[in-house]
């Protein structure tokens, strides 16, 4: 049985060796620095998660120049994004990690990520306009619906697990929104736009219960995971928040990828 999502390809060897070596260097630098990972840091990483996802969508739509395309293909795009973000964190160090300020680590990560994300989405918008019609309705439904599901689910979650809300904060909210967007955008793509599911395990769930069940399971799993990680975040904040960031990324990344791709190619 196929386990990896469709579309995952290794880049040419020179690209692969280069990106892996640079990634290892960044990992080594960050390991020595051991920066604190806070809830604010996780939230600040959100724009960068969308950058990687947007670049992959642009690569699939053949918008990325050929010489750069290997860096934007999956799974290499995740290493590409990590290298850039890791380098930024290594430079700014451990500056006020629990605050959003212009010169704090979360602030710098958030500002740079937002600027780059705006550039990526601007390119996607231009590509969509150049290949009419522009498809905004169903991608918009996915985004608005995910926000509504997240808001309602978070209020319900807050009623039953107030400690989890306090401990995980915006990081936990990002996890729920990311997986709600992934689930709903996948459902929209399958039901209305003629797209197929690329991840084999997700396809098994969809085959078993349809897209509605898939969305419900994705959101419930996200909420449960946030609840289960509450104690870990309290006892080991950096490791716990880093894990929340990773879980948020595997939801938000695919969700944003779907939205951008749908908008460009419909």
**Domain ranges (residues) in the chain:** 13-265
* Residue pointed to by tokens 């793509």: 189
| pLDDT at residue 162, rounded to an integer | 77
Count how many Cα atoms sit within 13 Å of the Cα of residue 120 in the half-sphere of its side chain.
25
* pLDDT tens-digit series, residues 53-112: 999 999 998 999 999 999 999 889 999 999 999 999 999 988 888 888 998 999 999 999
| pLDDT at residue 4, rounded to an integer | 46
Which of 120, 123, 99, 84 lies closest to 39, judged by CA? 99
* pLDDT tens-digit series, residues 225-265: 998 899 999 999 999 999 999 999 999 999 999 999 998 88
Structure confidence at residue 5 as a pLDDT band (50, 70, 90): low
* pLDDT tens-digit series, residues 25-54: 999 999 999 999 999 999 999 999 999 999
Q: Are 240 and 34 in contact (CB under 8 A)?
A: no
Angle, helices 13-33 vs 76-92, to 10°: value is: 30
The mean of the pLDDT values for the chain is 89
Q: Are 38 and 241 in contact (CB under 8 A)?
A: yes
Assign 96 to helix, strand or coil.
Answer: coil
Residues 6 or more apart in contact with residue 111 via CB below 8 angstroms: 102
Average pLDDT over residues 140-157: 89
Alpha helices in the chain (DSSP H): 13-33, 39-44, 46-60, 69-72, 76-92, 105-130, 137-160, 162-192, 200-228, 230-235, 237-265
Residues 6 or more apart in contact with residue 119 via CB below 8 angstroms: none
């Amino acid at each position: 049985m196929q386990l990896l999502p469709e579309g995952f390809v290794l880049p040419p060897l020179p690209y692969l060796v280069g990106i892996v070596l640079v990634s290892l260097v960044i990992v080594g630098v960050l390991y020595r620095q051991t920066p604190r990972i806070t809830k604010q840091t996780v939230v600040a990483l959100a724009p960068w998660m969308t950058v990687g996802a947007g670049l992959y969508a642009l690569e699939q739509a053949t918008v990325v120049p050929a010489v750069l395309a290997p860096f934007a293909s999956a799974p290499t795009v995740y290493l590409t994004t990590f290298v850039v973000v890791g380098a930024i964190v290594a430079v700014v160090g451990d500056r006020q990690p629990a605050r959003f300020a212009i010169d704090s680590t979360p602030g710098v990560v958030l500002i740079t990520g937002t600027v780059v994300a705006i550039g990526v989405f601007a390119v996607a918008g231009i590509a969509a306009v150049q290949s009419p019609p522009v498809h905004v309705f169903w991608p918009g439904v996915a985004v608005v619906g995910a926000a509504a599901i997240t808001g309602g689910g978070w209020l319900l979650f807050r009623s039953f697990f107030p400690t989890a809300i306090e401990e995980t904060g915006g990081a936990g909210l990002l996890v729920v929104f990311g997986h709600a967007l992934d689930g709903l955008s996948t459902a929209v793509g399958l039901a209305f736009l003629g797209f197929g599911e690329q991840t084999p395990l997700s396809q098994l769930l969809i085959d078993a219960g349809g897209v509605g069940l898939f969305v419900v399971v994705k959101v419930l799993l996200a909420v449960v995971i946030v609840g289960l990680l509450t104690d870990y975040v309290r006892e080991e904040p950096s490791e716990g928040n880093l894990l929340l960031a990773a879980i948020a990324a595997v939801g938000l990344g695919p969700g944003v990828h779907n939205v951008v791709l749908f908008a460009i190619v419909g």
